[in-house]
């Protein structure tokens, strides 16, 4: 990675943008989002980056950003869910001190959790080509681990028609 101080404001803006919840964006920060996008587009143009290359760069910043660990434990986002990093098995520490143990730590595994419990887990031979798709009634979010990109699509599905 280049040690270029010119990118520092860009990274600071990116971190601020990522830290805002979708609710924050909807509650008057649309202007901030527009400003960030303008800065990112200017950055891409000044550095001859295509839209895809910029998206991969930003995805790498988000998905590959080293996090601080303390005592062999890492926090997952801004929650009460922690990952036990040095166990023989994949392990999570959930609220109220509940623990979950999965496959051997030498095996790949995808685990789905909310703020209270493990909803499920599946073994994966490799995470390098993994694509995660999350459906909600109004959106479809995705993360493509092979390209280090993700995004959201709005859904326009109406209520079911009466029979």
Q: Are residues 78 and 62 in the same domain?
A: no
Place of tokens 């509650």: 27
Please indicate, yes or no, if residue 61 is contained in any of the structural domains. yes
Q: Are residues 20 and 50 in the same domain?
A: yes
Of 139, 163, 137, residue with least CA distance to 152: 139
Q: What pLDDT does 163 receive?
A: 65
Is the pLDDT at 6 greater than 80? The verdict is no
Tell me how many domains the chain contains. Answer: 2
Q: What pLDDT does 1 receive?
A: 40
| Backbone torsions φ then ψ of 14, nearest 5 degrees | -60, -45
Q: For 74-80, what is the mean pLDDT? A: 87
> Cα 154 to the chain's mean position, in Å?
18
Q: What pLDDT does 57 receive?
A: 86
Q: What pLDDT does 98 receive?
A: 92
Q: Are residues 60 and 5 in the same domain?
A: yes
Q: Are residues 1 and 58 in the same domain?
A: yes
pLDDT above 90 covers what percent of the chain? 37
Secondary structure (DSSP) of 90-139: EEEE-GGG-EEEEEETTS-EEEEE-SSSEEEEEE-S-STT-EEEEE-SSE
Q: Are residues 59 and 82 in the same domain?
A: no
Q: Are residues 115 and 78 in the same domain?
A: yes
Ranking 12-26, 39-53, 90-104 by mean pLDDT, the lowest is 12-26
Structural domain boundaries enclosing 45: 1-66
Q: What angle do CA 47, 49, 52 make, to 5 degrees?
A: 160
Q: Are residues 3 and 44 in the same domain?
A: yes
Please indicate, yes or no, if residue 32 is contained in any of the structural domains. yes
This prediction's pTM: 0.66
Which position has the higher pLDDT, 142 or 21?
142
- Which of 42, 66, 90 is the last residue in one of the domains? 66
Distance between CA atoms of residues 61 and 55, nearest Å: 10
Q: What pLDDT does 48 receive?
A: 93
Q: Are residues 79 and 60 in the same domain?
A: no
Q: Are residues 30 and 4 in the same domain?
A: yes
């Amino acid at each position: 990675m280049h040690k270029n101080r010119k990118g520092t404001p860009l990274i600071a803006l990116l971190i601020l943008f990522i830290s805002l919840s979708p609710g924050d964006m909807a509650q008057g920060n649309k202007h901030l989002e527009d400003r960030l996008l303008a800065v990112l587009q200017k950055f891409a143009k000044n550095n001859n980056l295509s839209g895809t290359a910029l998206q991969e760069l930003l995805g790498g910043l988000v998905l590959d950003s080293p996090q601080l660990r303390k005592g062999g434990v890492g926090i997952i986002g801004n929650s009460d869910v922690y990952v036990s990093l040095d166990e023989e098995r994949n392990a999570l520490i959930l609220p109220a001190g509940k623990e979950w143990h999965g496959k051997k730590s030498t095996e790949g595994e995808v685990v789905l959790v909310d703020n209270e419990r493990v909803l499920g887990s599946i073994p994966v031979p490799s995470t390098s080509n993994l694509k995660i798709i999350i459906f909600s009634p109004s959106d479809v979010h995705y993360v493509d681990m092979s390209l280090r990109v993700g995004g959201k699509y709005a859904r326009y599905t109406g209520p079911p028609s009466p029979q």
